[in-house]
Structure 1
């Protein structure tokens, strides 16, 4: 079952896409959007994890600034999305994740998975909130890598991703040697099935690893 719900947060109510499994949930999962909003791709990701047995919420983070906003994958959408996440800020984003996790708590342990900008917020959720988290191609991760982790995390990167150079990937291994870091023969956003950089083999392998991670830690 999938539908929009109203998610209460300390910052005010926002929308969130809720995807529930057909049986009893194994755990809860917060899916954290890219810079384009809680769009069809992110909702598909939520449903993908629900099919694996998780109770999922995908908050619409931009609702605090402009409700119901979903951006196109073009230059204008990228520019607008970057401006919006800068305006929202990481602190408010983590607060939203915490509110979503509280709603999911009745289903058991809660983790997160995030993509692009959301990959960095997922990492911060592991550091600040103690939520086991999977971070996909988080280009903003490096400045936060010295923060201690309260929960485990897993990292996925595309080896052809010009926005995340090899030195940035290496920094994850150097600063957090106990956390798994995977690099795939793919570009940025290789998991986004509607994008030009979608790479099905890499997306499938990253999903397999993420599901194993979530099964272990949730």
Structure 2
């Protein structure tokens, strides 16, 4: 269903997976990867958004470290590599790469000009930074790791942001969640949903903590949010 495109920046070029909807012109959504690269799960999410009528694109944000990472959450060795990539990742450069992706897909003939973003795990943190640092029209963060250290950026958020927080997230402990919620709960552009009993990556199909009911609930909220803000 998808195709690969190349995005060029002043620092170099990187690839992105693109899935196109049936209609000729549509709003776009940037899918922001987990720590496993642009893998089958991310491509399926991108394809799924295209099936919902969006021009979807998933950029390779690890290209500066190792281009083309495509691993799973199924082995200890892959988890080890994923955390090494996570620790080596430069979030500031990643935000610049997402901004370049937004510009590229907005200029695509198949885009209406509206662009949203949705990120998971590391991508959830990057979706928060996307809301703060880019002209993305609407952003969605799923269980973003490290947002508690970035709440000072909240004052820069001028467009809608939705957060999905897993209350039992092993990578975002309750004190971190409290910091995030307290900093953002009264922000006029921010909507927060919490999921009782859910652990990190509850919306990752096939993942250890996948919960079908709450994954569907969060997914429905995300699509409603995009329909409202991307038109």
Match of 1:91 in 2: 92
- Match for 1:140 among 133, 146, 149? 146
Q: Say whether residues 1:48 and 2:59 are aligned partners.
A: no
**How many Å separate the matches in 2 of 1:193 and 1:142?**
26
TM-score by length of 2: 0.89
| Contact 2:39/2:72 (<8 A) preserved | no
Q: Helix, strand or coil for the counterpart of 2:198?
A: coil
| Contact 1:128/1:150 (<8 A) preserved | no
Q: Helix, strand or coil for the counterpart of 2:152?
A: coil
Q: Helix, strand or coil for the counterpart of 1:146?
A: helix
1:71-110 map, 5 Å:
71-73=71-73, 74-106=75-107, 107=111, 108-110=113-115
1:186-201 map, 5 Å:
186-201=198-213
**How many Å separate the matches in 1 of 2:152 and 2:39?**
32
Which digits, 9 at most, give the CA deviation of each residue in 1:17-69, with x for residues without a partner? Answer: 10110113431111000000000000000011111111111011122222222
Match of 2:191 in 1: 180
Q: CA deviation at 1:6?
A: 1.8
**How many Å separate the matches in 2 of 1:10 and 1:91?**
15
1:21-60 map, 5 Å:
21-60=21-60
**How many Å separate the matches in 1 of 2:206 and 2:117?**
22
Tell me how many residue pairs correspond in the alignment.
218
CA RMSD of aligned residues (A): 1.5
53-62 or 71-80, larger mean C-alpha shift: 71-80
- Match for 2:161 among 147, 153, 161? 153
Q: Helix, strand or coil for the counterpart of 1:133?
A: strand
Match of 2:116 in 1: 111
Which digits, 9 at most, give the CA deviation of each residue in 1:42-100, with x for residues without a partner? Answer: 00000111111111110111222222222231333233222223323011111110111
Match of 2:127 in 1: 122
Q: Helix, strand or coil for the counterpart of 2:63?
A: helix
| Contact 2:168/2:174 (<8 A) preserved | no
| Contact 1:129/1:150 (<8 A) preserved | no
Which digits, 9 at most, give the CA deviation of each residue in 1:163-196, with x for residues without a partner? Answer: 2122222222211123221112321111110211
**How many Å separate the matches in 2 of 1:76 and 1:201?**
30
**How many Å separate the matches in 2 of 1:24 and 1:167?**
46
187-196 or 69-78, larger mean C-alpha shift: 69-78
Which digits, 9 at most, give the CA deviation of each residue in 1:122-180, with x for residues without a partner? Answer: 10000011322100001211111121213221111222222212222222221112322
Q: Helix, strand or coil for the counterpart of 2:131?
A: helix
196-205 or 158-167, larger mean C-alpha shift: 158-167
**How many Å separate the matches in 2 of 1:171 and 1:192?**
25
**How many Å separate the matches in 2 of 1:56 and 1:72?**
21
